[in-house]
Amino acid sequence: MAINFNKAEFILSAAASKQFVRDGLKQMAFAGRSNVGKSSVINRLVGRKNFARVGASPGKTTQINYFKIDNRLYLVDLPGYGYAKVSKAERDRWGRLMEDYFQSSQLIDLGVLIVDARHKPTADDVTMCNWFKSSGCPMIVVANKLDKLKQSEIEPNLQCIRETLALGEQDALVPFSAERGDGKEQLLGLLRAFYEQ
Ligand code: GDP
Protein backbone atom coordinates (compact mmCIF):
# COMPACT_ATOMS: atom_id res chain seq x y z
CA MET A 1 0.00 0.00 0.00
CA ALA A 2 1.15 3.54 -0.72
CA ILE A 3 2.72 5.18 2.27
CA ASN A 4 0.29 7.39 4.17
CA PHE A 5 1.90 10.71 5.10
CA ASN A 6 -1.11 11.68 7.18
CA LYS A 7 -0.04 9.05 9.68
CA ALA A 8 2.80 11.00 11.25
CA GLU A 9 4.05 11.00 14.82
CA PHE A 10 6.79 12.88 16.62
CA ILE A 11 9.43 10.48 17.97
CA LEU A 12 12.25 12.51 19.53
CA SER A 13 14.56 15.51 19.33
CA ALA A 14 18.26 14.72 19.12
CA ALA A 15 20.88 17.22 20.30
CA ALA A 16 23.83 14.82 20.14
CA SER A 17 24.92 11.94 17.95
CA LYS A 18 24.19 9.30 20.57
CA GLN A 19 20.50 10.18 20.19
CA PHE A 20 20.43 9.71 16.42
CA VAL A 21 17.92 7.06 15.39
CA ARG A 22 19.51 3.99 13.83
CA ASP A 23 16.83 1.33 13.61
CA GLY A 24 17.08 0.43 9.93
CA LEU A 25 14.01 2.33 8.69
CA LYS A 26 14.68 4.66 5.77
CA GLN A 27 15.32 8.30 6.65
CA MET A 28 14.47 11.38 4.61
CA ALA A 29 16.33 14.45 5.89
CA PHE A 30 14.76 17.91 5.38
CA ALA A 31 17.03 20.95 5.48
CA GLY A 32 16.64 24.66 4.81
CA ARG A 33 17.47 28.15 5.88
CA SER A 34 15.49 29.47 8.87
CA ASN A 35 12.23 31.00 7.73
CA VAL A 36 12.30 29.34 4.30
CA GLY A 37 9.12 27.51 5.33
CA LYS A 38 10.50 24.08 6.21
CA SER A 39 7.98 23.56 9.01
CA SER A 40 5.18 24.74 6.74
CA VAL A 41 6.26 22.33 3.98
CA ILE A 42 6.31 19.42 6.47
CA ASN A 43 2.90 20.44 7.84
CA ARG A 44 1.53 20.55 4.30
CA LEU A 45 2.93 17.08 3.53
CA VAL A 46 1.42 15.47 6.63
CA GLY A 47 -1.83 17.41 6.25
CA ARG A 48 -1.71 19.07 9.68
CA LYS A 49 -1.48 22.76 10.50
CA ASN A 50 0.59 22.66 13.66
CA PHE A 51 2.61 19.49 13.38
CA ALA A 52 6.16 20.75 12.88
CA ARG A 53 6.44 24.06 14.68
CA VAL A 54 6.10 27.11 12.45
CA GLY A 55 8.17 30.19 13.25
CA ALA A 56 10.94 28.47 15.21
CA SER A 57 12.64 30.77 17.69
CA PRO A 58 16.38 30.90 18.24
CA GLY A 59 17.47 28.56 21.00
CA LYS A 60 15.61 25.66 19.50
CA THR A 61 17.73 25.62 16.41
CA THR A 62 20.17 22.91 17.42
CA GLN A 63 17.94 19.89 17.54
CA ILE A 64 17.18 17.26 14.97
CA ASN A 65 13.52 16.24 15.12
CA TYR A 66 12.45 12.77 14.09
CA PHE A 67 8.95 12.07 12.83
CA LYS A 68 7.80 8.57 11.95
CA ILE A 69 5.58 8.31 8.88
CA ASP A 70 3.08 5.47 8.62
CA ASN A 71 5.35 3.36 10.88
CA ARG A 72 7.54 2.86 7.82
CA LEU A 73 10.05 5.68 7.48
CA TYR A 74 11.46 8.73 9.23
CA LEU A 75 11.08 12.31 8.20
CA VAL A 76 14.11 13.95 9.80
CA ASP A 77 13.79 17.69 10.37
CA LEU A 78 17.30 19.14 10.44
CA PRO A 79 17.75 22.44 12.31
CA GLY A 80 17.45 25.54 10.10
CA TYR A 81 20.52 27.61 9.30
CA GLY A 82 21.34 31.22 8.55
CA TYR A 83 19.26 32.77 11.32
CA ALA A 84 20.83 36.21 11.76
CA LYS A 85 20.19 36.58 15.50
CA VAL A 86 21.77 33.31 16.58
CA SER A 87 24.82 33.55 18.88
CA LYS A 88 28.22 32.26 17.87
CA ALA A 89 27.97 29.55 20.54
CA GLU A 90 24.73 28.33 19.03
CA ARG A 91 26.09 28.45 15.49
CA ASP A 92 29.03 26.35 16.65
CA ARG A 93 26.65 23.85 18.27
CA TRP A 94 24.71 23.69 15.02
CA GLY A 95 27.94 23.06 13.07
CA ARG A 96 29.04 20.25 15.35
CA LEU A 97 25.64 18.58 15.26
CA MET A 98 25.50 18.75 11.45
CA GLU A 99 29.05 17.43 11.13
CA ASP A 100 28.18 14.52 13.40
CA TYR A 101 25.02 13.90 11.43
CA PHE A 102 26.60 13.98 7.99
CA GLN A 103 29.61 11.98 9.12
CA SER A 104 27.51 9.21 10.67
CA SER A 105 27.40 6.66 7.94
CA GLN A 106 24.16 5.43 6.45
CA LEU A 107 21.88 7.80 8.32
CA ILE A 108 20.52 9.64 5.28
CA ASP A 109 18.70 7.80 2.51
CA LEU A 110 17.24 10.88 0.82
CA GLY A 111 17.99 14.59 1.18
CA VAL A 112 15.25 17.19 0.76
CA LEU A 113 16.64 20.73 0.51
CA ILE A 114 14.11 23.54 0.77
CA VAL A 115 15.04 26.86 -0.83
CA ASP A 116 13.14 30.09 -1.45
CA ALA A 117 11.66 30.18 -4.96
CA ARG A 118 12.09 33.97 -5.04
CA HIS A 119 15.83 34.15 -4.55
CA LYS A 120 19.13 32.82 -5.78
CA PRO A 121 20.17 30.14 -3.24
CA THR A 122 22.46 31.52 -0.51
CA ALA A 123 26.04 30.40 0.14
CA ASP A 124 24.64 28.37 3.08
CA ASP A 125 22.13 26.68 0.75
CA VAL A 126 25.00 25.73 -1.57
CA THR A 127 27.00 24.33 1.37
CA MET A 128 24.05 22.27 2.58
CA CYS A 129 23.42 21.02 -0.94
CA ASN A 130 27.06 19.94 -1.19
CA TRP A 131 26.81 18.10 2.13
CA PHE A 132 23.89 16.11 0.76
CA LYS A 133 25.73 15.45 -2.50
CA SER A 134 28.86 14.28 -0.70
CA SER A 135 26.83 11.93 1.46
CA GLY A 136 25.95 10.18 -1.80
CA CYS A 137 22.18 10.11 -1.23
CA PRO A 138 19.66 11.12 -3.88
CA MET A 139 18.32 14.63 -3.43
CA ILE A 140 15.16 16.58 -4.05
CA VAL A 141 15.19 20.39 -4.02
CA VAL A 142 11.92 22.10 -3.11
CA ALA A 143 11.49 25.72 -4.24
CA ASN A 144 8.99 27.03 -1.67
CA LYS A 145 6.88 30.23 -1.60
CA LEU A 146 5.97 29.87 -5.27
CA ASP A 147 2.79 31.85 -4.55
CA LYS A 148 4.99 34.94 -4.17
CA LEU A 149 6.17 34.76 -7.79
CA LYS A 150 4.59 36.16 -10.94
CA GLN A 151 4.01 33.51 -13.59
CA SER A 152 6.77 35.04 -15.75
CA GLU A 153 9.30 34.73 -12.91
CA ILE A 154 8.83 31.02 -12.29
CA GLU A 155 10.95 29.49 -15.07
CA PRO A 156 13.93 31.89 -14.80
CA ASN A 157 14.00 31.49 -11.00
CA LEU A 158 13.92 27.69 -11.22
CA GLN A 159 16.73 27.84 -13.77
CA CYS A 160 18.77 30.08 -11.44
CA ILE A 161 18.25 27.60 -8.57
CA ARG A 162 19.32 24.69 -10.78
CA GLU A 163 22.45 26.51 -11.88
CA THR A 164 23.46 27.88 -8.47
CA LEU A 165 23.09 24.50 -6.81
CA ALA A 166 24.67 22.77 -9.84
CA LEU A 167 21.84 20.25 -10.00
CA GLY A 168 22.14 17.42 -12.46
CA GLU A 169 19.44 16.27 -14.88
CA GLN A 170 18.48 13.49 -12.49
CA ASP A 171 18.02 15.82 -9.47
CA ALA A 172 14.40 16.73 -8.91
CA LEU A 173 13.42 20.38 -8.42
CA VAL A 174 9.84 20.79 -7.21
CA PRO A 175 8.13 24.20 -7.33
CA PHE A 176 6.08 24.36 -4.13
CA SER A 177 3.85 26.56 -2.06
CA ALA A 178 3.26 25.42 1.50
CA GLU A 179 0.68 28.17 1.70
CA ARG A 180 -1.40 27.20 -1.36
CA GLY A 181 -0.51 23.54 -1.67
CA ASP A 182 1.14 23.69 -5.11
CA GLY A 183 3.60 20.84 -5.63
CA LYS A 184 2.28 18.71 -2.78
CA GLU A 185 1.23 15.77 -4.94
CA GLN A 186 4.43 15.91 -7.02
CA LEU A 187 6.61 15.89 -3.91
CA LEU A 188 4.59 13.13 -2.22
CA GLY A 189 4.87 11.10 -5.44
CA LEU A 190 8.67 11.45 -5.42
CA LEU A 191 8.91 10.57 -1.71
CA ARG A 192 6.70 7.50 -2.17
CA ALA A 193 8.68 6.37 -5.23
CA PHE A 194 11.89 6.74 -3.23
CA TYR A 195 10.46 4.67 -0.37
CA GLU A 196 9.44 1.89 -2.71
CA GLN A 197 12.85 1.65 -4.44
P1 GDP B 1 10.96 27.50 8.93
O2 GDP B 1 11.70 28.42 9.86
O3 GDP B 1 11.77 27.17 7.72
O4 GDP B 1 10.39 26.27 9.60
O5 GDP B 1 9.76 28.36 8.33
P6 GDP B 1 8.22 28.41 8.75
O7 GDP B 1 7.49 27.22 8.28
O8 GDP B 1 8.14 28.75 10.21
O9 GDP B 1 7.72 29.65 7.85
C10 GDP B 1 8.33 30.92 7.94
C11 GDP B 1 7.35 31.98 7.44
O12 GDP B 1 7.13 31.82 6.06
C13 GDP B 1 5.99 31.87 8.11
O14 GDP B 1 5.51 33.18 8.31
C15 GDP B 1 5.15 31.13 7.08
O16 GDP B 1 3.77 31.45 7.18
C17 GDP B 1 5.74 31.64 5.77
N18 GDP B 1 5.61 30.65 4.67
C19 GDP B 1 5.97 29.36 4.70
N20 GDP B 1 5.71 28.75 3.51
C21 GDP B 1 5.16 29.70 2.72
C22 GDP B 1 4.66 29.71 1.36
O23 GDP B 1 4.67 28.72 0.62
N24 GDP B 1 4.19 30.91 0.90
C25 GDP B 1 4.18 32.03 1.66
N26 GDP B 1 3.69 33.15 1.10
N27 GDP B 1 4.61 32.06 2.94
C28 GDP B 1 5.10 30.92 3.46
Minimal-distance CA residue to ligand 1 atom 20: 37
pLDDT band at 130 (very low <50, low <70, confident <90, very high): very high
Out of 40, 44, 94, mutate this one to test ligand 1's pocket (max ligand atoms within 8 Å of CB): namely 40
Domain count, the chain: 1
Confidence of residue 1 (pLDDT cuts 50, 70, 90): confident
Mean pLDDT computed over every residue of the chain:
92
Note whether residue 72 is domain-resident: yes
In a domain, 3, yes or no: no
Give the residue, by CA position, lying nearest to ligand 1 atom 10.
35
Q: Report pLDDT for 60.
A: 61
For residue 58, pLDDT over 90 is answered with: no
In a domain, 159, yes or no: yes
Assess if residue 1 is contained within a domain.
Answer: no
Residue 2, domain member (yes or no):
no
Could you report the per-residue pLDDT of 75-91, keeping only the tens digit for each?
999 999 987 778 888 88
71: left (phi over 0), alpha (psi -120 to 50) or beta: left
Task: Please work out, in degrees rounded to the nearest 5, the angle formed at the alpha carbon of residue 86 by the alpha carbons of 83 and 92.
Answer: 105
Model confidence pTM above 0.85: yes
Q: Which residues contact 114 (CB under 8 A, 6 or more apart)?
A: 30, 31, 32, 36, 37, 38, 41, 141, 142, 144, 176
Domain range for residue 161? 8-196
Q: How confident is the model at residue 105 (pLDDT cuts 50, 70, 90)?
A: confident
Dump pLDDT digits (tens) for 23-49: 999 999 999 999 999 999 999 999 998
Cβ of 44 less than 6 Å from ligand 1: no
Is 63 within the bounds of a domain? yes
Nearest residue by C-alpha to atom 12 in ligand 1: 37
CB contact at 8 A, 141 and 171: yes
